[in-house]
């Protein structure tokens, strides 16, 4: 990899291609010439370090076309406010620096160094019990549009901004200047062309990770998101605390995170339900990987709500961890109704005294709105409900105090009479 001023070829495994790129630190990015000027009165949020500039806040652009690019953000008096990447969308600029810098490989290296130091401070580095963690969490680490997850000897980059994907060579060159992480297998996932698959000619093997001592097989190429949901680490541990001697239903189970913690927590029986046959197959592999095949576990490939409507009332603990029902504001109402139906269905079948771990990962659904929806479901179910815990994402998924929208994962532990 890269060390000091030496440059070597870096292999990037990109879905659909295998590329060889030569990355030269501090050489690819010239001084930024393009700029946008903010309308008077709209610059306050930027001065308060919010990382988004909405299109309605723009007064003037130095360019006529709509292609993504680096831009400087200027106040109405043409003074520098921030540096970011522009896109022709409702969020026009995503800010990566409030200082006037050149965003070359060393700039990106500083981002990775800062993020890694934060993870090291909370115990996510050199931890044999847990060797997987999120390294870059978008705005929470000052890099809007980028996710980077470390899975043992593999790091998966997921790009959620078209321009950031265009300049991925500079980003990854910066990563390779971060010496504690150099030498890892790099997988790049492009969210803008989901039909592309990984090359069959190169190493596509899953990676085995450890999370709090439980082993999981993670597929960075075919799995959802980057291959695993690291944000639920602490919530899985909490469920293990409650699992002893309980009959547990894990819905939307994916590859079985909550299920394996429940089994280790000495649950009497665990039922895992997911509509994806691929997920069920991965779950069963993880059961074997942890020598849990002899435990009382049943995997069911089914649609969750019809399953809940047909199942009996045997369960002491139910996990509701659905995919994001809404990814945009115009779909939020339908999402709220879906959350309400799902939670009512679980409340209808949970035993008296039972627990429900319920979650929303929809960023457009606020915590307040999610909790109101759960309360409405309880009213419709005619059940008295206590809130035992309010849950969020694990600390390697930080949010910025200036960007509260980054708290996407909301959860409650409910106890029903």
Distance CA 236, CA 359 (A): 12
Distance CA 131, CA 187 (A): 17
Cα 256 to the center of its chain, rounded Å = 17
Which positions are annotated as active-site residues? Answer: 361
* CB < 8 Å & 24+ apart, contacts of 41-45: 43/75, 43/76, 43/81
b/e code 301-315 from CB counts within 10 Å (16+ = b): beebbebbeebeeeb
Distance CA 315, CA 318 (A): 7
Handedness of CA 343, 345, 350, 353 (dihedral sign): positive
Cα 234 to the center of its chain, rounded Å = 14
Lookup: tokens for 213: 């001592």
């Amino acid at each position: 990899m890269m060390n000091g001023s030496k440059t070597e070829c870096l292999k990037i495994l990109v879905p659909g291609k295998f590329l060889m790129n030569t990355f030269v630190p501090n050489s690819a990015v010239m001084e930024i010439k393009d700029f946008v000027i903010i309308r008077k009165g709209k610059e306050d949020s930027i001065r308060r370090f919010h990382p988004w500039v909405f299109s309605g806040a723009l007064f003037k652009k130095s360019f006529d076309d709509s292609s993504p690019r680096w831009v400087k953000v200027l106040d109405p008096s043409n003074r520098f406010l921030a540096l970011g990447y522009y896109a022709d969308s409702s969020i026009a600029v995503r800010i990566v620096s409030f200082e006037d810098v050149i965003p070359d490989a060393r700039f990106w290296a500083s981002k990775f160094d800062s993020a890694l130091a934060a993870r090291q401070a909370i115990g996510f580095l050199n931890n044999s019990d847990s060797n997987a963690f999120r390294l870059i969490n978008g705005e929470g680490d000052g890099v809007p549009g980028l996710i980077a997850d470390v899975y043992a000897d593999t790091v998966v980059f997921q790009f959620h901004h078209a321009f950031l994907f265009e300049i991925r060579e500079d980003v990854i060159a910066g990563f390779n200047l971060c010496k504690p992480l150099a030498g890892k297998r790099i997988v790049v996932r492009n969210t803008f062309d989901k039909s592309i698959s990984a090359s069959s000619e190169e190493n596509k093997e899953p990676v085995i990770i450890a999370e709090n001592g439980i082993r999981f097989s993670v597929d960075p190429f075919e799995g959802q998101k980057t291959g695993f949901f690291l944000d639920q680490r602490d919530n899985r541990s909490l469920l293990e605390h409650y699992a002893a001697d309980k009959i547990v239903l894990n819905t939307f189970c994916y590859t079985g995170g909550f299920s394996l913690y429940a089994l280790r927590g000495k649950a009497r029986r665990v039922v895992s339900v997911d509509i994806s046959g691929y997920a069920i197959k991965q779950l069963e592999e993880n059961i074997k990987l942890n020598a849990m095949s002899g435990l009382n576990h049943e995997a069911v490939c089914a649609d969750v709500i019809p399953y809940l409507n047909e199942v009996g009332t045997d369960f002491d603990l139910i996990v509701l961890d659905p995919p994001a029902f809404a990814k945009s504001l115009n779909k939020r109402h339908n999402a709220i109704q879906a959350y309400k139906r799902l939670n009512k269905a679980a409340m209808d079948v949970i035993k008296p005294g039972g627990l429900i771990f319920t979650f929303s990962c929809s960023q457009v659904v606020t915590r307040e709105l999610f909790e109101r929806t759960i309360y409405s479901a309880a009213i419709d179910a005619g059940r008295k409900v206590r809130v035992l815990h309010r849950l969020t994402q694990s600390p390697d998924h930080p949010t910025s105090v200036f960007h509260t929208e980054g708290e996407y994962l909301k959860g409650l532990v409910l106890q029903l009479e």
